């Protein structure tokens, strides 16, 4: 009998099951050739079975993996390598943690092992991570293998790739989950993905962000160009949005002109601003619709998980609030839900340097908010409001930057620019045949303190040929009360020049009636905070009535600002308020839109 190494001996050198099968098969062949008939028969049978087992192991399209009782891989078949991308050498002696996708929590694995130990098998769906880091869904059957004494010696896993199956499933669910116009995820899919993102973020302790985007003035595009081109625009917007984010991020259309973006993983809250800037930039190039160039912009609200909320509902709600904040701040910009975050971004901008730069680069422009006589609804003039378009951040609200401009003294130059530009603009409209309109210009407290204020104003009126009696300067109560005697002297001189004066945000400061009588003013502007609640708060309604009655007693004109609804307008009419401004009548308009309004009004009055 020829001596040959036993399978046991060979197996001491390697635990590899394939080698084991090879050696055992060789032993069987050896036995077949060297033993009696019965042993020969048994050996032939073993030989056959081993060959078949080997074929099945090697040729199976399902992946087969074998671990020892300590869960270390001791062999895998070629299908395993093909599916996971790992070679045999990569995987040998490693623990299954190598394939962990972090898709399942520890409870999942705990339940799996418990069942495997008690029932000797576990069958189910599981996600693994492949060598290229892609996540893969599997149909997995796990078995424990015991020896004669019932002690577990091995575990065997057999699995197949479910991604193809999933993709047919996906095809079917596509209709239910995707927006038919843009091909983006629809609302149902968006909510599902957001929930999944939050679950993953909670588990892996990372941050995620939700962005809510609304196309500015989409209704106008739809109304002027028609629904078909409106749809085409949405398709093109969707395409550009997708190009701004990573493959793993989700862009959805909630309906109408509302889109969302889920940023699955962000390193810090500031990352979301980076994406928002990219989007604003990507949309700044005009769209071509029916050979026409169309300009659109979006307002973006950003919420960050877990900073701003930890549920789908709360994050959507907060993103919505932030988006409205962006609209209020002049559209074409982004806002974080958390004010501290907004503030941080702005501080980082080094506001003062930026403001100076902005001034040099002509980044400021003017809006005109029409003012109307309440009884006749006739246009009586406009309030001039400054706007700042930062090249990266987009529109920044004057409520944010004016305080910085005041701190840095830049308000002097900016205020002068606003006055000159508004007067020049009004006169240029007049030159095209339109009636010259009264202009109300906000004057900062800093400007009022300048010794050369009167000279500067006179110079601008002279230069632009804008008549003094059509100019009204607005000063807040706080500014008037800061230095009463000096202020009265300056105001009297402005009055002598023929300029009208008004008290802005009236009701929020502490002006006493005796002082009020001494200021040479023409108009009181009821602060918008009282108008906001005028229909629901009896206090605010009473304050508005008192201001109107007091103004009339002092022979002052009274204008309510921030009128947003017809109910507010009707109450003010009942209270005998003279004039109004606010979103119900008109939002602040850019130069071209205000000129258009003037033309329309003039045509109607003929
Ligand atoms: P303000 O003088 O009280 O101006 C009215 C503000 O209310 C404007 O905000 C206007 O857009 C907004 N508004 C008008 N109608 C409505 C409405 O119906 N509802 C609501 N919620 N708001 C309405 P804006 O343009 O953001 O200006 C904010 C503030 O910035 C101004 O408050 C003013 O204090 C200051 N500001 C704006 N332009 C200038 C300027 O040229 N010079 C100076 N010194 N300050 C300016
Ligand atoms: Ca004002
Ligand atoms: Ca005001």
Report the CATH number that the domain containing residue 567 is assigned in CATH. 3.20.20.450
Q: What percent of the chain has pLDDT over 90?
A: 58
Q: Which of 147, 177, 207 is the last residue of a domain?
A: 177
pLDDT at 17: 63
Q: Does 257 share its domain with 352?
A: no
Q: Does 290 share its domain with 210?
A: yes
Is the pLDDT assigned to residue 265 strictly greater than 50? yes
Task: Please report, to the nearest 10 degrees, the dihedral formed by the alpha carbons of residues 184, 185, 190, 195 taken in order.
Answer: -120
pLDDT at 114: 85
Q: What percent of the chain has pLDDT over 70?
A: 91
Is the pLDDT assigned to residue 260 strictly greater than 70? yes
Task: Tell me whether residue 428 is in a domain.
Answer: yes
Q: Mean pLDDT check: name the lowest of 188-192, 216-220, 356-360.
A: 216-220
- The atom of ligand 1 lying closest to the CA of 329 is 26
Give the residue numbers spanning the domain of 119: 65-177
Is the pLDDT assigned to residue 14 strictly greater than 50? no
459 CA to centre of ligand 1 in angstroms: 26
CB 440 within 8 A of CB 370: no
- For residue 9, name the pLDDT band (cuts at 50, 70, 90): very low
- For residue 294, name the pLDDT band (cuts at 50, 70, 90): confident
Q: Does 164 share its domain with 310?
A: no
- For residue 12, name the pLDDT band (cuts at 50, 70, 90): very low
Alpha carbon nearest to ligand 1 atom 42, residue: 442
Residues 78-99, mean pLDDT to the nearest whole number: 93
Task: Tell me whether residue 503 is in a domain.
Answer: yes
pLDDT at 13: 43
301 CA to centre of ligand 1 in angstroms: 21
CB 335 within 8 A of CB 341: no
Q: Does 363 share its domain with 462?
A: yes
pLDDT at 3: 38
Q: Which of 177, 206, 232 is the last residue of a domain?
A: 177
> Helix, strand or coil for residue 209?
strand
Task: Please report, to the nearest 10 degrees, the dihedral formed by the alpha carbons of residues 7, 11, 12, 16 taken in order.
Answer: 180
pLDDT at 370: 97
Is 328 or 385 the better-scoring residue by pLDDT? 385
- In the chain, how many domains are there? 4
Task: Tell me whether residue 342 is in a domain.
Answer: no
Task: Tell me whether residue 421 is in a domain.
Answer: yes
Task: Tell me whether residue 4 is in a domain.
Answer: yes
Task: Tell me whether residue 355 is in a domain.
Answer: yes
Alpha carbon nearest to ligand 1 atom 37, residue: 385
pLDDT at 519: 92
Is 169 or 310 the better-scoring residue by pLDDT? 310
Is the pLDDT assigned to residue 8 strictly greater than 60? no
pLDDT at 15: 53
Alpha carbon nearest to ligand 1 atom 43, residue: 442
pLDDT at 524: 95
Distance, in Å, from the CA atom of 467 to the CA atom of 498, rounded to the nearest integer, reads 9
Q: What are the pLDDT digits (tens) for 303-323?
A: 999 888 889 998 998 999 899
Q: Does 325 share its domain with 464?
A: no
Task: Tell me whether residue 343 is in a domain.
Answer: no
Residues 185-211, mean pLDDT to the nearest whole number: 90
Sign of CA dihedral 175, 176, 177, 178: positive
Q: Does 538 share its domain with 419?
A: yes
CB 241 within 8 A of CB 249: no
* Residue bearing tokens 């003037």: 598
Q: Does 410 share its domain with 466?
A: yes
Report the CATH number that the domain containing residue 202 is assigned in CATH. 3.30.70.270
Is the pLDDT assigned to residue 349 strictly greater than 70? no
- For residue 343, name the pLDDT band (cuts at 50, 70, 90): low
Residue 541 parent element (H or E) = helix 538-553
Is 117 or 257 the better-scoring residue by pLDDT? 257
- For residue 457, name the pLDDT band (cuts at 50, 70, 90): very high
Q: Does 495 share its domain with 353?
A: yes
Q: Does 499 share its domain with 568?
A: yes
- Check if 399 has its Cβ closer than 6 Å to any atom of ligand 1: yes
Q: Does 333 share its domain with 272?
A: yes
Is 163 or 280 the better-scoring residue by pLDDT? 280
- For residue 281, name the pLDDT band (cuts at 50, 70, 90): very high
Sign of CA dihedral 511, 515, 519, 521: positive
Residues 93-112, mean pLDDT to the nearest whole number: 83
pLDDT at 7: 42
Best CA proximity match to 578, nearest among 547, 557, 551, 553: 557
> Which residue of 335, 386, 398 sits with most ligand 1 atoms within 8 Å of its CB, as the best mutation to test the pocket?
398
Q: What are the pLDDT digits (tens) for 363-413?
A: 999 999 999 999 999 999 999 999 999 887 788 889 889 988 988 789 999
- The atom of ligand 1 lying closest to the CA of 527 is 3
Q: Mean pLDDT check: name the lowest of 4-18, 123-137, 278-292, 456-470.
A: 4-18
- Check if 421 has its Cβ closer than 6 Å to any atom of ligand 1: no
- For residue 428, name the pLDDT band (cuts at 50, 70, 90): very high
Q: Mean pLDDT check: name the lowest of 259-263, 327-331, 593-597.
A: 327-331
Cα-based distances in Å from 354 to 68, 125, 291, 336, 388? 66, 55, 38, 20, 11
Residues 519-528, mean pLDDT to the nearest whole number: 95
- Check if 531 has its Cβ closer than 6 Å to any atom of ligand 1: no
Distance, in Å, from the CA atom of 365 to the CA atom of 176, rounded to the nearest integer, reads 46
Cα-based distances in Å from 422 to 419, 427, 472? 5, 9, 12
Task: Tell me whether residue 523 is in a domain.
Answer: yes
Is 349 or 413 the better-scoring residue by pLDDT? 413
Residues 469-490, mean pLDDT to the nearest whole number: 91
Q: Does 230 share its domain with 357?
A: no
- Check if 418 has its Cβ closer than 6 Å to any atom of ligand 1: yes
Q: Does 274 share its domain with 307?
A: yes
Which long-range contacts (C-beta less than 8 Å, at least 24 apart) are formed by 547-556?
Answer: 547/506, 547/507, 548/575, 548/576, 548/577, 550/513, 550/516, 550/524, 551/524, 552/576, 554/516, 554/517, 556/521, 556/522, 556/523, 556/524
pLDDT at 540: 92
Q: Which of 337, 358, 376 is the last residue of a domain?
A: 337
């Amino acid at each position: 009998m020829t001596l040959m190494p036993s399978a046991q001996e060979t197996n001491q050198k390697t635990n590899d099951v394939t080698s084991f099968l090879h050696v055992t098969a060789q032993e069987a062949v050896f036995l077949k050739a060297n033993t009696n008939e019965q042993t020969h028969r048994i050996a032939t049978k073993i030989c056959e079975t081993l060959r078949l087992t080997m074929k099945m192991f090697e040729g199976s399209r399902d992946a087969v993996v074998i671990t020892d009782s300590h869960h270390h891989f001791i062999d895998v078949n070629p299908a395993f390598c093909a599916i996971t991308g790992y070679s045999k050498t990569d995987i040998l002696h490693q623990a299954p943690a190598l394939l962990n996708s972090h898709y399942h929590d520890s409870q999942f694995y705990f339940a799996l092992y418990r069942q495997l130990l008690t029932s000797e098998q576990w069958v189910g769906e599981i996600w693994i991570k492949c060598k290229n880091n892609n996540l893969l869904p599997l149909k997995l059957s796990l078995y424990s293998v015991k020896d004669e004494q019932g002690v577990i010696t091995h575990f065997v896993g057999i699995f197949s790739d479910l991604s193809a199956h999933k993709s047919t499933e996906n095809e079917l669910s596509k209709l239910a989950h995707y927006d038919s116009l843009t091909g983006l995820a629809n609302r149902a899919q968006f909510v599902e993905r957001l929930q999944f993102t939050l679950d993953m973020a909670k588990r892996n302790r990372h941050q995620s962000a939700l962005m809510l985007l609304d196309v500015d003035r989409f209704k106008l595009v739809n109304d002027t160009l028609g629904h078909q081109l409106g749809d085409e625009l949405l398709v093109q917007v969707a395409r550009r949005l997708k190009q701004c984010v990573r493959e793993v991020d989700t862009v959805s259309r909630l309906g109408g002109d509302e889109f969302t973006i889920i940023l699955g993983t962000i390193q810090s809250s500031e990352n979301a601003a980076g994406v928002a800037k990219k989007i604003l930039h990507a949309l700044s190039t005009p769209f071509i619709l029916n050979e026409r160039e169309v300009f659109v912009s979006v307002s973006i609200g950003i919420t960050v998980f877990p900073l701003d909320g930890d549920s789908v509902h709360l994050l959507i709600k907060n993103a919505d609030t932030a988006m409205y904040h962006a609209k209020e701040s002049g559209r074409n910009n982004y806002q974080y839900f958390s004010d501290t975050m907004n503030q941080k971004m702005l501080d980082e901008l080094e506001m003062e340097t930026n403001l100076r730069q902005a001034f040099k680069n002509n980044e400021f422009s003017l809006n005109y908010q029409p003012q109307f006589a309440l009884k006749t609804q006739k246009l009586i003039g406009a309030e001039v409001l400054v706007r700042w378009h930062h090249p990266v951040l987009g529109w920044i609200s004057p409520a944010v930057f004016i305080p910085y401009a005041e701190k840095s003294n830049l308000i002097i130059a900016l205020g002068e620019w606003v006055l000159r530009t508004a007067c020049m603009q009004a006169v240029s409209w007049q030159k095209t045949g339109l009636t010259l309109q009264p202009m109300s210009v906000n004057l900062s407290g800093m400007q009022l303190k300048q010794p050369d204020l009167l000279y500067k104003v006179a110079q601008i009126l002279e230069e632009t040929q804008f008549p003094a009696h059509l100019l009204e300067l607005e000063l807040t109560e706080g500014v008037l009360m800061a230095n009463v005697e000096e202020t009265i002297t300056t105001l009297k001189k402005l009055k002598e020049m023929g300029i009208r004066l008004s008290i802005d945000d009236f009701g929020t400061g502490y002006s006493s009636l005796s002082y009020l009588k001494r200021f040479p003013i023409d108009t009181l502007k009821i602060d918008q905070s009282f108008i906001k609640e005028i229909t629901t708060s009896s206090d605010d309604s009473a304050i508005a009535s008192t201001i109107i009655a007091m103004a009339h007693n002092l022979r002052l004109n009274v204008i309510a600002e921030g009128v947003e609804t017809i109910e507010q307008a009707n109450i003010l009419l009942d209270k005998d308020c003279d004039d109004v401004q606010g979103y119900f009548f008109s939002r602040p308009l850019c130069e071209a839109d205000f000129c258009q309004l003037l033309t329309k009004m003039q045509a109607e009055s003929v």
